Structure 1
Amino acid sequence: MAKKKGESWEWLKALFIALIIAAGIRYFMFAPIVVDGESMMPTLHHQDRMIVNKLSYTVGEPERFDVIVFHAPEGKDYIKRIIGLPGDKIEYKDDQLFVNGKKVPEPYLKEFKQILSEGNLTYNFDLSEVINNTTVPDGHVFVMGDNRQHSKDSRNIGPVPLEEVIGEANLIFWPVAHFNVLE
């Protein structure tokens, strides 16, 4: 009897340790997220399930075109693409991105632009028109959804403070047909 009790106790300890490790990984390293809405189409679809890498910006810096998850002002978490980094001057003219005065291609929008029957995917603007500043403020990023005509992003909510960024979302795991690692 004592042997069974000792064995049961060892199993309980192992299970407890496994739960603590799993919770630590979930809380500090990686977390699942469900895409809500169509603001990132065609890259991401409504109800896609992704993994958010919470360590990505603990050990590195955000890069232009990273897809990130952040706490939005309304208390929701948003998923968008980084367009501007701190100090960048951003401008859109004739559906073309200009960063610090240089034309920058956005290959992830090519498919969506071909679908458009008329007009531009992204309306013309510069930062001073949307955030009352000529550059992205220090400690912030300027984000936009890939579905530019139907996205609530930095053009509406302003630049995103880096401390509000949860992490980089770069793995779609469900549905299986959408499985993809974002670059």
Structure 2
Amino acid sequence: MDIDRAPRRDARKAPGERPPTIVLAVLLLVTLLAVRLWIVEPLTVASDSMEPAVAQYSTVLMLKPFSREQVAPGALIVFISPEGGTPTLKRVVAVGGQTVAIEDSILLVDGEPMPEPGIDHTRIDGTYFGPVQVPESHVFVLGDNRAGSIDSRDYGSIPLEALLGVVLWP
């Protein structure tokens, strides 16, 4: 009995020819490494100073190339802390030229109360600070957990050149 069979392909490859899956895997690895090095970096939050918005030990994604427009009040930023020199996550509440104060736990920027829906004002009742003016090319940052945060109230405003990136997520 004669059975027609398809011709067998030779499993051997020509010298120097790589299987496409290996090439694709290497390209994917290089792309992911480039994204991690120059574009987006995951960071683990070490403290509870941003709770409840960002829980301690959670991971955030930081966008490294950012514009000044992204560093606006309400933005979460990562910068090198003046105390300890470690990457630190805080919320921008004012930018250069603005005046910041806290009166009985209410944040005032340029004399106007700011809405802060994530802040539990009952935990920080009786807190007073300032007023201080934020220098140009600086930002004033606060932790959402005001009672447990070391922030611009302690070490002053942060120069824009100390910023590492803005938080994309959460």
Shorter-chain TM-score bucket reads 0.7 to 0.9
In the other structure, the counterpart of 2:130 is 126
In the other structure, the counterpart of 1:106 is 116
Whether contact under 8 Å (2:138, 2:160) holds in the other structure is yes
SS of match in other structure, 2:36: helix
SS of match in other structure, 1:107: coil
How far residue 61 of structure 1 moved from its aligned partner, in angstroms, is 3.7
In structure 2, C-alpha distance between the alignment counterparts of 1:24 and 1:60, rounded to whole Å: 25
In structure 1, C-alpha distance between the alignment counterparts of 2:75 and 2:36, rounded to whole Å: 21
In the other structure, the counterpart of 1:131 is none
SS of match in other structure, 1:84: strand
In structure 2, C-alpha distance between the alignment counterparts of 1:4 and 1:59, rounded to whole Å: 52
In the other structure, the counterpart of 1:22 is 32
In the other structure, the counterpart of 2:79 is 70
How far residue 59 of structure 1 moved from its aligned partner, in angstroms, is 7.1
* One-letter code aligned to 1:82: V
In structure 2, C-alpha distance between the alignment counterparts of 1:145 and 1:14, rounded to whole Å: 43
Match of 2:91 among 62, 73, 81: 81
SS of match in other structure, 2:35: helix
> Could you tell me the TM-score, scaled by structure 2's length?
0.82
Query: Which sections of structure 2, spanning at least 5 residues, go unmatched?
Result: 1-11
* One-letter code aligned to 2:69: G
In structure 1, C-alpha distance between the alignment counterparts of 2:113 and 2:138, rounded to whole Å: 22
* Cα-to-partner distance string for 1:11-51 (whole Å, 9 max, x where unaligned): 55444433322122112211101111111111111111111
* One-letter code aligned to 1:126: G
> Could you tell me the TM-score, scaled by structure 1's length?
0.76
Alignment of 1:1-183 (within 5 A): 1-3=12-14, 5-8=16-19, 12-55=22-65, 57-58=66-67, 60-73=69-82, 74-109=84-119, 112-113=120-121, 116=123, 120=125, 123-127=127-131, 134-172=132-170
The structure with the greater share of residues assigned to helix is 1
In structure 1, C-alpha distance between the alignment counterparts of 2:96 and 2:68, rounded to whole Å: 18
In structure 2, C-alpha distance between the alignment counterparts of 1:42 and 1:166, rounded to whole Å: 23
In structure 1, C-alpha distance between the alignment counterparts of 2:40 and 2:56, rounded to whole Å: 21
Which portions of structure 1, spanning 4 or more consecutive aligned residues, are displaced by more than 6 angstroms? none
SS of match in other structure, 2:89: strand
In structure 2, C-alpha distance between the alignment counterparts of 1:20 and 1:99, rounded to whole Å: 45
Q: Say what the alpha-carbon RMSD is for the aligned residues.
A: 2.1
